[in-house]
Structure 1
Amino acid sequence: MDPLSRPVLVLDLDGTVCLGDTPALLYAEGVASFTDAPEALLELSEGFLARRLPESAPKALTGAQDGYEAVRILGVAAGVTDEQLSAAYLSSRAAIGEHPGDIRTPEGLVDLLGGIDAHRVILTNSPRDGLDAILDHLGVRDVIDEVLTDALKPSRMTAHLDGFLATADAIDTPERLMSVGDIWRNDLAPAVERGCVAAYVDVFDRRQGPAHIRAESLVDLYTAISQWSRDPSSFIEANPCKEPVRC
């Protein structure tokens, strides 16, 4: 198949392709270093990631989309400035190469990506610094066609999607692009608005908005991703965009 005619699979990195608590914990360590009570911030960060928050935890944490947002909420509450938060984030990303800890891909992801005929993209807000070491540790280099860093999601997400669609000659057939991610506002809302397929990895059961497919784990979406890659038009007809079910 001509590369330009291949459907486009856009994958978020943290929380989607890259699992594990180490990145958020490294960020928490950096943020905590700017506070008067670093142990408290670290303890709450670990509690959030383990889904064992004490009753005394700030209520704002219950709505955090991932570990990074939880750490940011705690940092802001402790008086950490935006500049300090940014410095802690950049430092944590650079450190992952030397301290990968528990980072890993979802089981079977490399086989999935190696077995589908699609242009496979990692689109991440992460900086380039430290990313090569992460990709090497995850073992995904040979099954990814393109990596875009510093993506500025969600503000630039629609522009990225339009660029991918144009390259694939799919401006009028946006269902030929699937965006996969764990943050609805960043990865999925712009895709839904553009008419692309949205695959929601709702790790923390936030149920933020509509998507074509959703599951708590990316592994549970593998079959759907494979089906989409073979026939995007039929897939989106069979899987219309749906609002989350709320219990």
Structure 2
Amino acid sequence: MDASSTRRTVTPTPTLIFDFDGTVALGAGPVRAYALAAVAGIPAEQRTDFLTRVLDEHSDAEALDGYDRVARAARLLGVTEQELSAAYLHSRSVLGGAEAPILAPRGLREFLEQARAHAEIVLVTNAPAAGIDRVLRVLGLAPLFDRVITQAGKPAGFPAILDDLRAAPLPERFAADATRGPVLSIGDIWENDLAPIRERGHHTALVGTRIPAGATPDLAAERLETLYPELLAWARGQVVPAP
């Protein structure tokens, strides 16, 4: 038997990238907390109408998400960027508490526990680092992400993040000679979470009801839990969507 016949085949290790707000953290609580903080900069007689509009997820079809919907409406009523920034930071400080309750998609913890055997699991969010560890503990997900990248600056910051991941070592649970494989990004905003990944030739999964014109995700579903079987199969190398 020659050496080539006994050489072990090393399968490249894939990476699953998750967005946070709207993907891993669900619920209207955070956007409501943001709106209630932003309303302080709006004339009193316009506040009720403002809150009614921005808390209706169908009130602004052009908004990327709930946070964008609040910010767009607030700017039209004279709220400054400084006031919006303060309102956003307040909403993050109360995230996961009574003022801004959140929940994880059904079965996410169990899915991540299975997927970790086959893939590196990364969380990438534009949110600030403050409080993110606490919130992940609230959701019961804290130990399941190999890397948590905050203030990512998506979409513009994604290419650099991919380059950094490519150069970084894999988690110790994988073999010492394991190599990096394909990437699949999961998120609810095509423009921020997925398009930059697609442009680099990687795979994408779009969750939620907003599918903009021109979006070409490999996988799509209204709820993340619907995609668990396909995502796990991808992580195992059984199914590879073609970008």
**TM band (smaller chain):** 0.7 to 0.9
Secondary structure of the corresponding residue to residue 28 of structure 1: helix
- The answer for the alignment partner of 2:128 in structure 1 is 127
- The answer for the alignment partner of 1:155 in structure 2 is 156
Asked if the contact 2:17–2:122 (Cα under 8 Å) also holds between the matched residues in 1, the reply is yes
User: Structure 2: how far apart are the matches of 1:190 and 1:168?
Assistant: 22
The one-letter code of the counterpart of 1:213 is L
- The answer for the alignment partner of 2:138 in structure 1 is 137
The one-letter code of the counterpart of 1:215 is A
User: Structure 1: how far apart are the matches of 2:224 and 2:232?
Assistant: 12
Q: 2:242 aligns with which of 228, 240, 244?
A: 240
The alignment status of 1:204 with 2:210, answered yes or no, reads: yes
Report how far residue 94 of structure 1 moved: 0.6
Provide structure 1 residue ranges, at least 5 long, that are not aligned to the other structure: 54-60, 242-247
User: Structure 2: how far apart are the matches of 1:163 and 1:71?
Assistant: 33
Residues 66-215 of structure 1 aligned to structure 2 (within 5 Å): 66-99=65-98, 101-116=100-115, 117-167=118-168, 176-215=182-221
> 1 or 2, which has the higher helix percentage?
1
The one-letter code of the counterpart of 2:231 is I
Secondary structure of the corresponding residue to residue 96 of structure 1: coil
- The answer for the alignment partner of 1:14 in structure 2 is 21
- The answer for the alignment partner of 2:42 in structure 1 is 35
- The answer for the alignment partner of 1:57 in structure 2 is none
Larger Rg: 2
Report how far residue 99 of structure 1 moved: 2.7
Change (3 A) 1:24 1:194: same
The one-letter code of the counterpart of 1:210 is T
User: Structure 2: how far apart are the matches of 1:199 and 1:111?
Assistant: 19
Provide structure 2 residue ranges, at least 5 long, that are not aligned to the other structure: 1-10, 171-178
Change (3 A) 1:130 1:115: same
TM-score, normalization by structure 2: 0.84
Asked if the contact 2:34–2:91 (Cα under 8 Å) also holds between the matched residues in 1, the reply is yes
The one-letter code of the counterpart of 1:81 is T
Q: Percent identity?
A: 35
Partner deviation per Cα, 1:72-115 (whole Å, 9 max, x = no partner) = 11111111111111111111101224436441111011000000
The one-letter code of the counterpart of 1:122 is L
Report how far residue 168 of structure 1 moved: 5.7
Asked if the contact 1:124–1:150 (Cα under 8 Å) also holds between the matched residues in 2, the reply is yes
Secondary structure of the corresponding residue to residue 92 of structure 1: helix
User: Structure 1: how far apart are the matches of 2:138 and 2:221?
Assistant: 25
Mean Cα deviation higher: 196-205 or 150-159: 196-205
Partner deviation per Cα, 1:37-84 (whole Å, 9 max, x = no partner) = 222221112222xx4x4xxxxxxx112121111111111111111111
User: Structure 1: how far apart are the matches of 2:128 and 2:113?
Assistant: 25
User: Structure 1: how far apart are the matches of 2:180 and 2:223?
Assistant: 25
TM-score, normalization by structure 1: 0.83
Change (3 A) 1:142 1:8: same
